[in-house]
Structure 1
């Protein structure tokens, strides 16, 4: 496995198979598990973790969970602390009591997006308190642009340890990666496989799934690997952690061995040249007031 902070891969999987897949993932060697309040599968995922702990497959200190909620989610996971806790989006929405509705998603009871007037500095202060209370070991951010990272450093008592962003060959985010490296912030990539089907981009034409992209397929054949492994290695070889999604046993093993070969610098550059700034996860698609990447 790549020897970087939060280096081991994880995944989000369907709720009905969550416990089984988390358990099997631990069994084959996965140690980083990523989730969010939006998924609503913490209890099931915790059951998988609990089974692995009870059977002695792994010790608690060997596991790492990244979550986007706190004390209630610790209870759902059946754990005493989180290794890493992220602010999922730098967006303040009106609070929805989890006892009333969980997961809250993006909506109020009126099915509208209700924005709350809370500065990010206040949110980060609450994150720091979780560390002070021993409920979280490390804190970080997700879906944050460079301007907010720089601003955070002016007031953060505990600097963010991790930046989690959408990152794949169609969205390489080179300038943000350089900034994170300069600031000493580890980067985790989600949506590493890009679009899973053809996308129509108007005047830009159709975009192929990366699994079918000629450059990726050519590199995969040259190394006798799967396109998915090439896409993961493209990220990990540059010091980026990945959290690919799958609930298929053979894919779990295939993804886990994606660091057993190296791409050439020319291959990495060729794959990076596929960038078209294609963002698949943009809150502005929900509400134009949430255009955090504008």
Structure 2
């Protein structure tokens, strides 16, 4: 077609596989005919290896961050599981008593079984949330509804929010477009941003502890997740450092929230 070509490729050489980046530019004569092609080829092997190492390191940090987050949620998770499990036991015992009677009330038994199914699903939601946090592996991009991801994150920390005497509101944007990215990473971002806000409001009086979460559509068909809280905020002198790994204003050393968020957002933006 007579237009410049830019592409990446790989070669299997005696010394091993090499990666390269090439640029080809057609050159035309006075009549406009292509009479030669000028090209440049750059060896990208070391850069590719460095990028792969960086991705593995970031995935490991993200996984450790999720595991550390579970440490803060232990009491909340125990409560979230104990409630539906206790309800299942209670309904199962009630159904057994109804069945033992001379004239079992089928309507009451049916109601008990319906409640058992609902509580089982509730416990399953908690366990699936834990599995998402503990899952380790490479990113798996897919089409994601950010509203669903944020709802799942809020549901996971619901009891922790109550224990902290904090109010939370979620305003999902109606008709929010799907985004391309890794669900686990985005789930972690939403969860950690919310937990950071909960930490930030801890020093406020209970009557003034609030977290606001909302989604909205941005220009170009993108989406935004906005988390605000009643905490004191980040000092202006520290703003330049908020994307540094392990930086914290509240003494919590495990939070790599913004660096991981930045990585996940960049990965989602680069997905086709």
Is the TM-score greater than 0.5?
no
Please give the TM-score of this superposition, normalised by the length of structure 2: 0.22
The one of the two structures with greater contact order (alpha-carbon pairs below 8 A, sep at least 6) is: 1
Q: Which has the larger radius of gyration?
A: 2
Higher strand share: 2
